[in-house]
């Protein structure tokens, strides 16, 4: 845990310094809607995403007074290579079936969301953003 604390301290110091120089700095993390869901066969993935989301909330509480905006983007289904790394044939087949049912988000959609968040006026912070394909159920 000490190693993780050192890593966080290293980048937060730079963010605080940038905020002091420019009036605001942004830390935008990418998580997943899986952070808020219970998904069979996705326990480790969902757990790691929940960590990212919770860490983001805590860092926002710690850094807001120093003008560092912390946001976490939690996308739904995004068409990336991640699906190629799923170990279960059953889950991989379910994901392929989902691609036939609805249009997934693209990496560009997430990049545009990051851009939107970073371009907000300095007084505005979006702590948590959920981005979903229009046809994906919650």
pLDDT tens string 12-66: 999 999 999 999 999 999 999 999 988 777 888 899 999 999 999 999 999 999 9
Question: Do 20 and 8 touch, CB atoms closer than 8 A?
Answer: no
Question: Do 94 and 86 touch, CB atoms closer than 8 A?
Answer: no
* Cβ within 8 Å of residue 52, ≥6 positions away: 29, 30, 31, 35, 72
pLDDT value at residue 124:
97
Token pair 């980048």 in the structure block, residue: 11
Question: Do 57 and 36 touch, CB atoms closer than 8 A?
Answer: no
Domain boundaries 2-131, CATH class = alpha beta
pLDDT value at residue 41:
78
Question: Any idea how long the chain is?
Answer: 138
Q: Is 51 a catalytic residue?
A: no
Mean pLDDT of the chain: 89
In the numeric block, which tokens belong to residue 42? 């996705």
DSSP-derived letter for residue 122 is T
Residue 101 binned pLDDT confidence (cut-offs 50, 70, 90) = confident
Token pair 């000490």 in the structure block, residue: 2
Q: Which residues are bridge partners to 30 per DSSP? A: 73
Q: From the candidates 45, 95, 125, 126, which is the catalytic residue?
A: 45
In the numeric block, which tokens belong to residue 10? 């290293």
Token pair 């976490």 in the structure block, residue: 72
Overall average pLDDT of the 101-122 stretch: 96
* Category of 15 on φ-ψ map: left (φ > 0), alpha (ψ -120 to 50) or beta: alpha
The rounded distance, in Å, linking the Cα atoms of 117 and 72 is: 10
């Amino acid at each position: 845990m000490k190693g993780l604390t050192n890593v966080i301290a290293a980048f937060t110091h730079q963010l605080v310094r940038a905020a002091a120089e420019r009036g605001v700095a942004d830390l935008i993390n990418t998580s997943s809607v899986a952070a808020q869901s219970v998904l069979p066969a996705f326990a480790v993935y969902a757990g790691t995403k929940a960590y990212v989301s919770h860490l983001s909330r805590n860092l926002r509480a710690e850094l807001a007074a120093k003008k560092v905006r912390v946001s976490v983007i939690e996308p739904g289904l995004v068409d990336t290579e991640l699906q190629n790394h799923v170990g279960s044939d059953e889950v991989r087949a379910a994901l392929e079936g989902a691609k036939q049912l609805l249009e997934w988000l693209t990496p560009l959609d997430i990049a545009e969301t990051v851009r939107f968040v970073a371009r907000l006026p300095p007084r505005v912070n979006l702590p948590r953003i959920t981005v979903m394909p229009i046809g994906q159920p919650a």
